[in-house]
Amino acid sequence: MKSKRFLIGVVAISMIALAAFFWVKYPFLNGSVSGDQKVVLSGNTPPAVHEARQLGHGNPTQAVRVVVGLKLRNGAALEQLLAEQADPASPNYRKYLTPDEFTRRFAPTQADYDKVVRFLQSQGLTVTVIAPNRLIVGAEGTVQQVEHAFGVTIYEYRYQGRVVYSNAADPQIPAALQGIVESVMGLNSFAQFHSRSIPSPRPHQQQGSGPVGLTPQQVATAYDYPNVNNAAKGNKYGGKGRTIAIATAYGYSQSDVDAYWKQFGIKRSGSVTNVAVGGTTTQLDGETTLDLEQIGAQAPDADIIMYEGVDPEFSTFTLIFNQIVTDDKADIVSVSWGACERETGVAQMKTEDAIYRQAAAQGIPVFSASGDDGAYDCQEPAANGKHIFLHPTAPGKKPAPKVSTVDFPASDPYVVAVGGTSLYLNPDNSRASERAWSGAGGGVSIYWARPAWQKGPGVPAGKKRVSSDISLVADPWTGYAIYFQGAWDEAGGTSFAAPNSAALWALVEEAAGGRVGSVNAELYELGRSADYGKVFHDITQGDNGNGQGPGFKAGPGWDHPTGWGTPDGDALASWIKARGQSPAAAGSGK
């Protein structure tokens, strides 16, 4: 009897000791949200929350999806590698990593990743996304569970005519996760991406009438694309062997895109594949449709993967971008959605920046619309009719801008920000004149440091990243023909400039024989070279004030609304191809 009691006592003491061990080693397993075991994770509250009117506490039973971002390892080594991949004098020039290589060298460790997963599960949250590169973890729970897990209070707010929810202060995480976790996305709905397309101010066509607006042939001819749409170049390139990912929200009708391609005699050999992200959706979207129409027309031999998010939440696009880079099937990414930098926390953008760095290391450029509100990006699209396919124009005046701001992800240094112009054609579809479009996004980031490569004639002095980088026609007054829901229409916006730039890059990569990297460093090298005037049309007139203020003026060399200007596609393909043929560049890209 005595020995039995002794055994029970030993077991009890052992269990207590074991529990104490795990309590000390993994303090987050106790589920506590108080005391000095928690630390504040700064940069996860959108600045816009301070401009909104608080309505009350959020519904505690409302379902919330969160995405937790983890920090990269060996950041300095990654920066060095990215610089070498863009340097023709380096043996690493155009030599890109596989996803497995990137994960092994720069991703969080498996042990650290597992800590984050266990913490989320210990808080009653359901883990829904386990990422191969260990940069993000997706989870679901109620408002009450999320508040308890991260030590926040979630309120409802009225902001620019809409009701949103948001944390009022930065979340807290266990001290054991400090230095591992970068961000917590999903705590607010300020952070939504918006389509960057605008209806033409000209009278819309009646349903059933023919197309009005720029055709694929006009765009290709004006910018000398080396494809079949440009009669001067014939069938030089079509994007054969290249794959383009379109990052978007919602879906499209195949009959719409087929009608568009048929109208303009587009004969495609490339495939189109749909990938649902965050759930499936039956909602059709004009942005998704026009992206596919434009890219499919200008790169008819390229394969296209439609990464279709279930909604336009910031966190959903994070899932999209991360799946694109871990799939590693796409050579080029096009995104025509964006959000004002002030409408999300900097930490959330840092998580996406880590994904864009992985894309760069794998040789995948991302082309993003620079925005359609000129230098004043923080406008509410639903209030001024920008969501031309999703929302009607709301009554009332356009809200006055407060500060000069830029669009994300276009503001990220590892993304090509595509600005916009107003283009006027000669009868033969050649360029007659071109000026900066007043609505083209472009300005100075409030977050991102100026990358070393961002210098050259026209680039202003400063310590922050500036945009745009390049441009194409985007003015809705000189807009594009589109086909959506069985009818022709005309629209503009940098939503069109981005996919047409991505399509051009597919032609460039076909000419070069493979991936040629994240683009920006080489574009700025070109801007500083004697070849600049042969490859780019320098846009020197106009500004991006958008009728709201002075904006930024176009001028010689680089400028905010248009970057280096609009490309001569054939000359650009030849320049990139020749640059890769230097002796140091042997063995380039996938």
What is the spatial distance between Cα 294 and Cα 291, in angstroms, rounded to a whole number?
5
pLDDT attached to residue 7: 43
d(CA 284, CA 288): 8
The domain locations on the chain are 30-72+107-185, 194-585
* pLDDT of 213: 94
pLDDT in tens, 339-352: 888 877 899 999 99
Distance CA 453, CA 443 (A): 17
| Residue entry with tokens 């930098």 | 341
CATH of region 194-585, choose from 1.10.12.10, 3.40.50.2000, 3.40.50.200, 2.60.40.10: 3.40.50.200
Q: Please tell me the CATH code under which domain 30-72+107-185 is placed.
A: 3.30.70
> Phi-psi region for residue 328, left (φ > 0), alpha (ψ -120 to 50) or beta?
left
pLDDT on residue 276: 97
82 secondary structure, DSSP code: H
CA distance 424 to 203: 19
DSSP of 209-278, one letter per residue?
A: S---SB-HHHHHHHTT-SSTTSTTT-SS---TT-EEEEEEESB--HHHHHHHHHHTT----S-EEEEEES
546-586: pLDDT as tens digits: 988 889 999 999 999 999 999 999 999 999 999 887 544 33
Q: Out of 65-69, 74-78, 387-391, pick the least confident.
A: 387-391
| The pLDDT value given to residue 205 | 52
pLDDT (mean) for 489-513: 97
pLDDT in tens, 9-56: 444 444 444 444 444 444 444 443 333 589 999 999 888 888 888 999
The predicted model scores a pTM of 0.89
